[in-house]
Amino acid sequence: MLQLEHLTAGYGKTRIVDDIDLEIPAGEVVALLGRNGMGKTTLLRSMFGLCDVFSGSLTIDRSPLPLGRPEGLARHGLSFMPDDRGVFPNLTVEENLRLARRRSYTPPVDIYDVFPLLAERSRQLAGQFSGGQKQQLGLARAMLAGERLIVVDEFSQGLQPSVAKEALEALRTIAATGVSVLIVEQGPQLPLAYADRILGMVKGRLVFDEPVPKLRADPEPLTNLLVVA
């Protein structure tokens, strides 16, 4: 289980994420939604040391982990795909995947079955890929590295709908083995179809945390969250 307590973070002296408490049990797929500029990306980046953390703690399976030290989190099997995909443009697809793969871990999905493009273009430089193709590579890298937690920003960015669905089905298969999954998504359609819970974020705070079946029955909280007045 991932547990964040009293996380406050931002950039310089500007606080963007304010006193966040969050739990993601092992085996659960959680989606974080909110309009642009509400702090979703900052929340994810703060977990992995990519912005300034002012306070808070992070534990995984009740073991404290160091906020602000991405290499330490990676050693414990936590993976993060940022909104820029986090691929190495001057390395081939095969080299990108080899660097991401953990020696002690084999995910329960074949990434080449999920993303056939990566097998077809394994010797191509990642920098020659389109945005959507880099998204596939970034997701594959996260799946290979995330033995305990997979975090993905802007999940469906640049993906064809069929590829996005295949990737989410793969994440659900991985989650079923006890891996926690947290994704940021712009719209509600995919989270309502594939997630277990949906979190809503407004101005750096979590304003609701609801199971998907409840939101399917009553989508008004999601509508209020995402529609600009």
Tens digit of each residue's pLDDT (9 = 90 or more) over 159-171: 999 999 999 999 9
Q: How confident is the model over 68-77, as pLDDT tens digits?
A: 777 888 888 9
What is the H or E stretch that residue 168 is in? helix 161-175
Locate the domains of the chain by residue range: 2-226
Q: DSSP secondary structure string, 61-123?
A: TTEEE-TT-HHHHHHTTEEEE-TT----TTSBHHHHHHHH--TT---SS-HHHH-HHHHHTTT
pLDDT of 166 reads 97
User: Exposure of 193 by Cβ count < 10 A (0-12 exposed, 13-18 middle, 19+ buried)?
Assistant: exposed
173 or 60, which is more confident? Answer: 173
CA distance 159 to 81: 14
pLDDT of 109 reads 98
pLDDT of 117 reads 98
- Spell out the long-range contacts of 86-89 with Cβ–Cβ below 8 A and sequence spacing 24 or more: 86/138, 86/141, 87/126, 87/129, 87/134, 87/137, 87/138, 87/141, 88/126, 89/125, 89/126, 89/127
- Spell out the long-range contacts of 203-208 with Cβ–Cβ below 8 A and sequence spacing 24 or more: 203/18, 203/38, 203/39, 204/15, 204/16, 204/17, 204/18, 204/20, 204/38, 204/39, 204/42, 205/18, 205/19, 205/20, 205/39, 206/20, 206/21, 206/22
Q: How confident is the model over 7-42, as pLDDT tens digits?
A: 999 999 899 999 999 999 999 999 999 999 999 999
Closest to 196 (Cα-Cα) out of 51, 23, 71: 23
CA distance 229 to 108: 43
For range 37-57, the mean pLDDT: 92
Q: At 203, is the pLDDT very low, low, confident or very high (cuts 50, 70, 90)?
A: very high
CA distance 131 to 160: 11
Q: For residue 201, is pLDDT > 80?
A: yes
Kindly report the pTM of this predicted structure: 0.95
Beta bridge partners of 210: 198
Q: How confident is the model over 111-144, as pLDDT tens digits?
A: 999 999 999 999 999 999 999 999 999 999 999 9
Helix and strand tally (H, E) in the chain?
10, 10
- Name the fold adopted by 2-226: Rossmann fold (3.40.50)
CA distance 59 to 83: 24
Q: For residue 179, is pLDDT > 90?
A: yes
